[in-house]
Amino acid sequence: MFTQKSTGVKTVLKILAASVLCIALCFVSACDESASFDVVIVGSGGAGLSAAVAAREAGASVLVLEKMPFAGGNTNYATGGLNASETSVQKAKGIADTNEQFYNDTMKGGKNVNRPELVRTLTEESAKTVDWLISHEMDLSDVGRLAGATNNRAHRPAGGAKVGPHFVQVMLAAAEKAGAKIHYNAKVTGLIEKDGKPAGVVVTSEGKTAKINAKAVVIASGGFGANPAIITSYKKELEGFGTTNHPGATGDAFEWVKPFNVGIVDMEQIQTHPTVVPVKNIMITEAVRGNGAVMVNRDGKRFEQELATRDVMSKAILAQTGKTAFLLFDQGVRESLKAIEGYAKQGLLTEGASLAELAGKLNVPADVLEAEIKRYNSFADAKKDADFGRADMPRKIENAPFYAVEVGPAVHHTMGGLAINNKAEVLTADGTVVPGLFAAGEVTGGVHGANRLGGNAMADIAVYGKIAGTNAAVYAKSK
């Protein structure tokens, strides 16, 4: 099993010089309450940045507070794509897809634990949200398929490049251009309560604490995937697992909302990602499998259909000798997905001029591996996987050189969190709205149910981030 470790953030995002000076406006003194905004957003990941842009477009003054020294959070790690249905991009490519099928796939993937009204909004608003992102110069021109999806709907930059860093770069620029103020190294420690409603936040930085007034607050602070104490309190069996999460994903918001009796849902629903490099905890995107890779064990045999959902594939890998497996693909798959070049530069790929050479390097029986890939290629020709029922086999594995990456499960996504409605309003434990409090992204629960489909986190942060920002602005302007 992996040791608990979180990889450092490596991103080309701009780390603003303002991160050193950003505190000046807000931390004049330990009790300064002069700073006031229509909307304060906690977190500058994909959901927070989407909310910031939307709130500014709705006419609100906006402050974004980020406890890390850079923007993006877990969105910086997102690779595979942003799921959306009936989009202009799909239609231009002749891809037939429907909101209803997207809804059905998401509910099935979440084992129907998802809140149907949240999934309806996610799917029905996805196409409009894609157009909105494109209007801000986001490249979502490549469309692929991730596990659990019936159709190609994972939107990403040209050539299958990583979607997350691009999303953050584009939306950070859009938020700044729109006039949102973004402060880094600013850790929110609580919400200000007034007449039973949130009236701002308490924030600490460089040893100073201040209160910032706000008419509406949007919590977009992310999940708790980097907090082993919370994880194991709900799932003891995940003790000792690694994590793909950035160090700031610690679930701070659950303490802030206690005075408001906020509902907390689905906390035990914690997802492991099946293809994570052991010890290094570097996630290999699901898109590699989606573009044609297979999974083999130490005997050189496939053991599950590669586009099974993450929970199914994680369980299958843990049942193999060594509790890891090999993700195997050829030059054709590599050339189909730009994201793979990043793995090559990180030295994660084992390469062989032939399958036999690759097998030798992996210490698996060459004759078995060669026979297994020959069998798989026959299935690809017949468009029917007679062994495991894989529905989509976009290409055969036949073009040298051949590559493999050893992978296994690590904690990836926390599906539980704050209860919200489809307006991104935070709800109390009895289901009533907390006036002026909104939330979006991984800090919320109910969208993904018992298992999140690849590509749906990006859809979630974009759709509900936009909704939260717009509605927070409307609420603030009414006060």
Q: Are residues 277 and 402 in the same domain?
A: yes
| Number of CB atoms found within 10 A of residue 34's CB | 12
Q: Are residues 358 and 451 in the same domain?
A: no
Q: Are residues 211 and 301 in the same domain?
A: no
Q: Are residues 256 and 139 in the same domain?
A: yes
Q: Are residues 193 and 313 in the same domain?
A: no
Pick from 425, 182, 409, 196: nearest CA to 316: 409
Q: Are residues 147 and 110 in the same domain?
A: yes
The domain boundary residue, chosen from 411, 434, 455: 411
Tell me if 157 sits within 8 A of 142, measured CB to CB: yes
User: Cα–Cα distance between 339 and 316 in angstroms, integer?
Assistant: 25
- Mean pLDDT for the stretch of residues 27-53: 81
pLDDT at 12: 34
User: Cα–Cα distance between 73 and 66 in angstroms, integer?
Assistant: 9
Residue 2 lies in a domain: no
- Residues in a beta bridge with 438: 218, 425
| Number of CB atoms found within 10 A of residue 365's CB | 16
Structure letter (DSSP) for residue 317: H
Residue 425 lies in a domain: yes
Residues catalogued as catalytic: 310
Q: Are residues 240 and 99 in the same domain?
A: yes
235: which 2 tokens?
């799932």
Residue 1 lies in a domain: no
The CATH code of the domain that includes 310 is 3.90.700.10
Instruction: Dihedral sign for Cα 223, 227, 232, 233, please.
Output: negative
Q: Are residues 23 and 49 in the same domain?
A: yes
Residue 8 lies in a domain: no
Residues above pLDDT 70, as percent of the chain: 93
H runs (alpha helix) in 65-188: 88-93, 99-109, 116-124, 126-135, 163-178
Per-residue pLDDT tens over the stretch 58-100: 999 999 999 999 999 999 999 999 999 999 999 999 999 999 9
The domain boundary residue, chosen from 361, 380, 411: 411
The CATH code of the domain that includes 64 is 3.50.50.60
pLDDT at 30: 36
Range of the domain at 201: 13-269+415-479
Tell me if 403 sits within 8 A of 335, measured CB to CB: no
Tell me if 161 sits within 8 A of 343, measured CB to CB: no
User: Cα–Cα distance between 221 and 469 in angstroms, integer?
Assistant: 14
H runs (alpha helix) in 268-404: 287-290, 310-318, 331-336, 339-345, 355-362, 366-382
Residue 6 lies in a domain: no
Per-residue pLDDT tens over the stretch 155-201: 999 999 999 999 999 999 999 999 999 999 999 999 999 999 999 99
| pLDDT surpasses 70 at 19 | no
pLDDT at 310: 92
Any residues with CB less than 8 A from the CB of 258 and at least 6 apart, and which? none
pLDDT at 240: 86
Per-residue pLDDT tens over the stretch 321-346: 999 999 999 999 999 999 999 999 99
Q: Are residues 206 and 327 in the same domain?
A: no
Residue 5 lies in a domain: no
Per-residue pLDDT tens over the stretch 233-289: 999 999 988 999 999 999 999 999 999 999 999 999 999 999 999 989 899 999 999
pLDDT at 35: 86
Per-residue pLDDT tens over the stretch 96-138: 999 999 999 999 999 999 999 999 999 999 999 999 999 999 9
* 410, containing H or E segment: strand 402-414
Residue 216 lies in a domain: yes
Place 22 in a pLDDT band, splitting at 50, 70 and 90: very low
Place 27 in a pLDDT band, splitting at 50, 70 and 90: very low
Residue 7 lies in a domain: no
Q: Are residues 369 and 421 in the same domain?
A: no
DSSP per position, 179-234: T-EEESS-EEEEEEEETTEEEEEEEEETTEEEEEEEEEEEE-----TT-HHHHHHH
| pLDDT surpasses 60 at 9 | no
Q: Are residues 221 and 179 in the same domain?
A: yes
- The count of domains in the chain is 2
Per-residue pLDDT tens over the stretch 135-153: 999 999 999 999 999 999 9
| pLDDT surpasses 70 at 7 | no
The domain boundary residue, chosen from 353, 382, 411: 411
User: Cα–Cα distance between 85 and 150 in angstroms, integer?
Assistant: 11
Q: Are residues 380 and 404 in the same domain?
A: yes
